[in-house]
Copies of this chain bind each other. A is one copy, B any other.
Amino acid sequence: VLDLARETGVSKSTVSRVLNGSPNVSPEARARVNEGVKRLDYRINLAARSLRTTKTALVGLLVPAINNEVFAEIAEQLDAELRKAGVMLAVTSSGWSPEGELSALDALESRGVDAIVVALADDRERRVAARLRLFDAPVVLLDREVSRLQAEAVLTDNRAGIVLCIEHLARLGHRAIGMSTSTDSTRPGRELVAAYRDSLSRLGLDTSEGLLVRSDTYTREAGWAAAKSLIDAGATAIIGCGPVAFIAGALDHLSDRGLDIPQDVSFVEYTDSELATVNRPRLSVILRPVGEIGRLAARLTLARMANERQPRRVEFVSTSFLDRESTAPPRPQSRKGTSASKDPA
């Protein structure tokens, strides 16, 4: 279609120069071309440009599931920032599978994306890590760490919120604090568990194994089962980490069992949600700045695209604890039970 634009009287070269905002063009030529663009409703062929420049103004977003509140929100913010810079987002869900990630990575690379933003289902996966190291565009990781990969990342301080939360619960008198989170497959899972264990021992709380349940299945049923095993283990307070479906399942269990929040058991959700404030009582939560994560990821991506060889950068966001109505002192009898189970330790 450049031929047509050439009909404005200048050469393809000049047209291309004004299209790319080169400073070396006479104002008249620029005006003629811009007018021609309007008149012919010219739309550049990005495939051709990409072929020449090897840049696509396309960035890939690879997440385990785009229909997850957290990833959807990240995608939204990422897209908003990126489109300001004229770059588009190619989104793909891996379905929590390394195979899905591998094939998505191939597809993204074939497409020549300028960068990828990725949240791995399991950042310890050898094959995926190896593939990522060979990926031919910058990668920015979302709260994941891949060994021997020099990548940008936006990391969340998952400790802060959990520590505040446990301190609060301990202050209320809880000694048997249960938590359900992901396995070590993911940085948040690791960090949450480390912070949980540190806090328990620092505060002298019950460290029974049963008070920690770990699973990478986030269905409603899994949430139900997690709550069950925590309660069975004697937990008087539960910290539930997972998407809303998972949390909903946990609440289901407490309700099925006739346990009232917070009288019978305290409950804290990791990451705020609509569900937290619609639930009665309103759920106390650990706040995580999800939108900010998306925005920072966009900024890192754009900076990296602008300058391939700048040193690797990492951005940090933190978490905090917001107490609403779902925590209270444990029931006296529960309390006794917990003390008893702690003594043997």
Contact flags A29-65 to B (C-beta < 8 A → 1, else 0): 0000000000000011111101100001010000001
A167 beta carbon closer than 8 Å to chain B:
no
A91 beta carbon closer than 8 Å to chain B:
yes
Task: Evaluate contact between B91 and A75: CB separation under 8 angstroms.
Answer: yes
Task: Evaluate contact between B73 and A88: CB separation under 8 angstroms.
Answer: no
User: How near does chain B come to A180, taking the closest CB pair, in angstroms?
Assistant: 16
Task: Evaluate contact between A107 and B91: CB separation under 8 angstroms.
Answer: no
Task: Evaluate contact between A76 and B58: CB separation under 8 angstroms.
Answer: no
Q: Chain B residues with Cβ under 8 A from A68's Cβ?
A: 72
Q: Chain B residues with Cβ under 8 A from A193's Cβ?
A: none
Task: Evaluate contact between B90 and A107: CB separation under 8 angstroms.
Answer: no
Task: Evaluate contact between A279 and B277: CB separation under 8 angstroms.
Answer: no
Task: Evaluate contact between A89 and B88: CB separation under 8 angstroms.
Answer: no
A106 beta carbon closer than 8 Å to chain B:
yes
Q: How many copies of this chain are found per oligomer? A: 2
A338 beta carbon closer than 8 Å to chain B:
no
Task: Evaluate contact between B248 and A110: CB separation under 8 angstroms.
Answer: no
Contact flags A77-92 to B (C-beta < 8 A → 1, else 0): 0011001001011111
Q: Chain B residues with Cβ under 8 A from A76's Cβ?
A: 65-67, 93
Task: Evaluate contact between B83 and A107: CB separation under 8 angstroms.
Answer: yes
A191 beta carbon closer than 8 Å to chain B:
no
- Find A275's partner among B56, B65, B274 (CB 8 Å cutoff): B274
A285 beta carbon closer than 8 Å to chain B:
no
CA distance A244 to B45 in the complex (A): 40
Task: Evaluate contact between B45 and A47: CB separation under 8 angstroms.
Answer: no
Q: Chain B residues with Cβ under 8 A from A73's Cβ?
A: 67
A111 beta carbon closer than 8 Å to chain B:
yes
Task: Evaluate contact between A109 and B67: CB separation under 8 angstroms.
Answer: no
CA distance A278 to B273 in the complex (A): 12
Contact flags A123-148 to B (C-beta < 8 A → 1, else 0): 00000000000000000000000000
Q: What is A's interface to B at a CB cutoff of 8 Å?
A: 43-48, 50-51, 56, 58, 65-69, 72-73, 75-76, 79-80, 83, 86, 88-93, 95, 103-104, 106-112, 220, 244-245, 247-248, 251-252, 255, 274-275, 277-280
Q: What are 17 contact pairs spanning A and B, CB under 8 A?
A: A43-B109, A45-B51, A46-B112, A47-B48, A51-B51, A66-B72, A66-B75, A66-B79, A79-B93, A83-B92, A83-B103, A88-B92, A88-B107, A89-B91, A91-B91, A244-B275, A248-B277
